[in-house]
Amino acid sequence: MSKKLPPFPGKYPHNYSDSPFEDIPDYLPRNLQPNSSRNLEIAENFESEESSDELSFIWQLFKRRWLIILFTTLGMTVGAHWLSMAQTPIYEGKFLLLIEKEEKTLPPPQTTNADGLQINPTRTIVDYSTEIQILGSPTVLAPILKEIATRYPDIYRDIDIQNLDKLNIRQIVNTKIIEVSFRHQDKEKINFVLNTIAKHYLKNGLNPGGRGEGVKFINQQISAFQNRVAKIESKIENLRRKYQFIDPQIQAKELTQQLIAAEKEYLTTDIQLKQAQVAYENLQKQLNMTPKEAIAVNDLTESPRYQALLQQLQQVELEIANKSAIFTDESPQILTLKEQKENILKLLEEEKAKYPVKTEQNNSNVGYSQIRAKLTQDLLKVENDIKILKSRKEGLTKLLEGIRKRINQLPSVAREYTELQRELNYTTDSLKRFMEAKEKLEIQESQRGKDAQLQLISPPQVSDKPVSALPFLPIPPWLLGLLGGLTVGITIAAIIDKLDGTVYNVPQLKTITRIPILGAIPLDKSISWTRRNRPIFTSNFPGKTITETGEIIIPSSLRDACQHLLANLSLLLPDYECNLIVVTSPQPEEGKSTVSLNLAKTAAKMGKRVILVDANLRLPRLHQLAGVENEMGLRNILAGETKWEEVIIPMGKNLSLITAGGETNGVNQQDGFFPFLSTSLSRWVGEVKACGKFDLVIYDTPAFLNFFETKIIASHCDGILLVMRMGKSQYNHLTQVCEQLRLANARLLGIVANGVN
């Protein structure tokens, strides 16, 4: 007998409360959720081996949806080029102005320069930014535009005084020259507009009247911004009053602390209430009465008349007992005493009737003890405590509801508050700039010696070469269309990929589930595996052969992937001498048989004693992959026609195979497990596990969502290995598998990604 190998390490996880994955999807059953540090180790190891690469994702997306991306890119490129060609050419004209200003000499003290000569400091008080604002202000431009509108009314509508879209006034960098330019489709209109503007600028210059107009305009803007600031501050104040806060961040922190404290107090009150209710029930059982009845009994026993009647009754009964030894029951003395007793009992009944107490409790509490009195007091106290605790709990519930409501309102309030603050800051900054401009203008007015003069140094000229209709674009329109088409095409392709519901790669699979991905079988389009010049396996990998000694030779890429999968399985499988796993897939043609045989051969190569069972009785494949006959197999074992030891097929060192088997007792192959449901599958599984000949039993089962056999076998095994082919498996298939596994109470070990690029 071969040397017994150590079992797979690890314990079967039963406690799922310590799951390292906090964001488990809702559809994943609790008994399927990864829960141990081993699962976390598997996930981390796999993530370290396959990091997601955005460029790789885009490249794969392009290969899948290249037609969509190509046509979208071509369409937008051609459209952008056609649109640019269809645009009416726009021309630009401009003229240059020089602002001459006499520099005002300030009074002493005098200074000396580097050569030791005394000089008088001078100061130029021309503020070009202010001059440009004045030249482009509505106050200055409005009269000019009205004159232009007498000849070209459309020009007045084309020029936006507030934005100056087509009319641009700017200072040439590092010079004292101001450039005034205008754009339009008509050269004649450009020339007329620029000449009219230049004439008005040279005529009016920058005289004090113009300055006064500038100050007036600035004052109007300052007043408008002040009103806006006041309105925004009023909104902020109203918002603070409505929701009772100063700053949303501070409010959020305070509400969080209040919520924690209230929840803690609520929990304490709830515990105290439950304890009081338990004590109340125990006291009621001990006293066998309600609080009202206990009070009545207590009052009855403390009644002086009731106690006196009880004493008289005891004396009469004692006297009757003494005289009964001397006289007969018919003697006058005995009859008199009995009559006295009856009278006393009637008086006792009349006294009892004054209290709302049941008769049996009256009779049982005649000798009301101090212990029962103490229990009665405790019962009343506990009842009062319960009322107090219930009232406190109701108050805490309302308090928690109020706090949670305010917390739920806080994000929208904080967003509104932030927007108002941003608007307030922007308005305040604008107001500050206008205040500074006003101050500078007033300083210039006070310090002005000679008025600044405008000199035309370059008359209006219109360029014969059209300018771009979109001057802000640094690239040609066709190139913009190309880049935009690529972006839109990739976006559309990604959306189609998302709506398609197909899983194409491992990173995409990780985003939709937190089930451990135990392995990734790489894709190779070369397909062959020979054994003694006979095809024994069809897979994604070439060059798989068996030597003359029966040893399996597997390419390194497949071997590494299967060894990695086997190592991850060893962390999840229980510490048994023989482990049983089920290999299945959501739908057919996803490579589950390929993975089963690869995994079995790799485990055998590593020294494990492995038996591979073809449990796909409807569409068996393993006998074709292995190149053996399918005459006797699992179907015949379950039908009781043969023993399982007699149908084992050796496949090499440490590896055995049980095929699905042929038709038996007239049962069609398409009937699957249905004719054998009455047989004891668990007994046969137990025999294989208990024989001690195998370390690992692998069941290749039908597609999980198509047939029910997999659920039956999985209930007798240690776990399920789910194979998903990249580019074929669907998101919703994984969801359906998880739902059905939850109903079957089966354990999902993890996922094997097959066909990974």
Query: Mind giving me the DSSP string for 122-171?
Result: EE----HHHHHHHHTSHHHHHHHHHHHHTT-HHHHHHS-TTT-SSEEEEE
pTM of the entire structure? 0.44
- Which is nearest to 364 in space by CA: 264, 416, 286, 424? 286
Q: How many CB atoms lie within 10 A of CB 690?
A: 10
Both tokens of residue 635? 């179907």
Do 81 and 161 share a domain, yes or no?
A: no
The confidence score (pLDDT) of residue 663 equals: 73
Do 533 and 653 share a domain, yes or no?
A: yes
The confidence score (pLDDT) of residue 106 equals: 44
- Supply the CATH number for residue 147's domain: 3.30.70.1130
Do 581 and 455 share a domain, yes or no?
A: no
The confidence score (pLDDT) of residue 525 equals: 60
Both tokens of residue 266? 């609520």
- Supply the CATH number for residue 658's domain: 3.40.50.300
Please report whether residue 391 resides in a domain. Answer: no
Alpha-carbon distance of 382 to 296, in angstroms, equals 17
CB 490 within 8 A of CB 61: yes
The confidence score (pLDDT) of residue 82 equals: 81
CB 571 within 8 A of CB 622: no
Do 579 and 726 share a domain, yes or no?
A: yes
Phi, psi of 103 (to 5 degrees): -80, 130
Number of domains the chain contains = 3
Please report whether residue 84 resides in a domain. Answer: yes
Alpha-carbon distance of 23 to 287, in angstroms, equals 52
- Which is nearest to 538 in space by CA: 619, 628, 626? 626
The confidence score (pLDDT) of residue 752 equals: 93
* Sequence-separated (6 or more) residues with CB below 8 Å from residue 106: 120, 121, 122, 123
Please report whether residue 12 resides in a domain. Answer: no
* Sequence-separated (6 or more) residues with CB below 8 Å from residue 23: 514
Alpha-carbon distance of 665 to 667, in angstroms, equals 5
Do 80 and 101 share a domain, yes or no?
A: no
Range of the domain at 490: 57-88+472-500
Do 543 and 656 share a domain, yes or no?
A: yes
Residue ranges for the chain with pLDDT beneath 70? 1-54, 86, 100-126, 156-165, 205-214, 291-302, 354-370, 444-452, 468-475, 524-555, 664-680
The confidence score (pLDDT) of residue 362 equals: 47
The confidence score (pLDDT) of residue 297 equals: 67
